[in-house]
Amino acid sequence: MGTRVRINDVRFNFTNNLFTAGKAKGNDSGKEKFSVVAIFGREHPQIAEIKAALLEAATAKWGAKAAEVLKQLSAGDRICLHDGDAKSDHAGYAGNYFINASNELRPLVIGPNRENLVAADGKPYSGSYGNIILEFWAQDNQFGKRVNASLLGVQHVRDGERLSGGGVAAADDFEAIPQTPTGNGTSGVAGAAALF
């Protein structure tokens, strides 16, 4: 068991694997997982709580050496809490922290009124805001030492500007096509078929 924490008011990114498992970046196991990224400011009111939870998870694995090991892992970017400035080429990361979280089990995904959400609802999406429940745990195996975050659940709370180029086309992106009478509509198809 790890250390469980709910982090409020984060911005979601890379939500494409919230409803369908996939191969997440940094996933050493080779297994498909459900995943998301949570982005939040450096002045977030729960920073101390998050760091304490990371230390608690490390202490459960490495005991009295936990603080030293955690410092080394952090310097090597081997913990789930990352400096957003390292991803400054990604919109929304600079000046913030972010956490990569994943799970082989499908996480709970709900809306503001605790209603269950499905992929067809289109929420949460990359750039929307909400709350996230994570479980921090320390790893020490053939894949190395790390402190990871298991994704337990997310709650979409409010909309935000989309990230990662997400979204769909709007009707205004197309031009209106004037209606002109045509023949039986087959000549163009037959002509195109002859080209291939």
User: Given this model, what pLDDT does residue 64 score?
Assistant: 95
Question: 3-166 sits in which CATH class?
Answer: mainly beta
pTM (2 d.p.): 0.80
30, 160, 32, 55: which is closest to 102 by C-alpha?
Answer: 32
Domain ranges of the chain: 3-166
Separation between Cα atoms, residue 96 and residue 39, nearest integer Å: 7
- Indicate the pLDDT class of residue 195, thresholds 50, 70 and 90: very low
**E strands present in 78-183:** 81-83, 96-103, 108-110, 129-141, 144-158
101: β partners: 36
CA 130 to CA 73: how far, in whole Å? 28
Rounded to 5°, the CA angle 104-106-22 comes to 60
What are the pLDDT digits (tens) for 169-192? 556 667 778 877 655 555 454 544
